[in-house]
Amino acid sequence: MSQLVCPLCGRFVSISRFDPSNFEADIFAVNVRGLGRGRGFAVSETFSVLGEPEITGVIAERCRIILGLIEGKKILSGGEASVLMAEVDKWKDEAMRERRSSEDLFAKLVELETQAMSWKKEALRSRRGREDQIAQLAGLEGVLRK
């Protein structure tokens, strides 16, 4: 009969009886009291240690290593993840600055295009006015020649 050695704790378990789907999701610790010499121990109190970083931290680090082995990927440690998150935040800030800058430039472009359209309309009005004046002048010259 083959035995499975837990990569987290080193406990031997029969492969035929190994079923982690029924394991408790919490991490428990127990206080025990002695029953006297040669009589063993009895559990006096069971309590959760999920909020204890000195316990959960080493378990989490070991789980990252195990996941890396299973998935064939490098799992980041907490420090590496923090450094990368800081880098991501820096790039997000830079992207937001660039976005605001491009929005400002776009607003200026719209303003310049509006101004250029206004100047084109003014130039067209001036050209029509000039053409009207040239036509009036030609009419007056025709009257004077008669």
- Joined together, the tokens standing for residue 84 give 């990368």
Cα angle, residue 11 at apex, residues 9 and 46 outer, rounded to 5° = 70
Write the CA distances from 129 to 133, 134, 137, integer angstroms.
Answer: 6, 9, 12
- Joined together, the tokens standing for residue 43 give 């559990």
Instruction: Fill in the amino acid letter for 52.
Output: E
In angstroms, the CA 44 to CA 30 distance is 7
Query: pTM higher than 0.75, yes or no?
Result: no
pLDDT in tens, 76-108: 776 788 888 899 999 999 999 999 999 999 999
pLDDT in tens, 33-64: 999 999 999 999 999 999 899 999 888 888 88
**Where would I find the H helices in 30-77?**
53-71
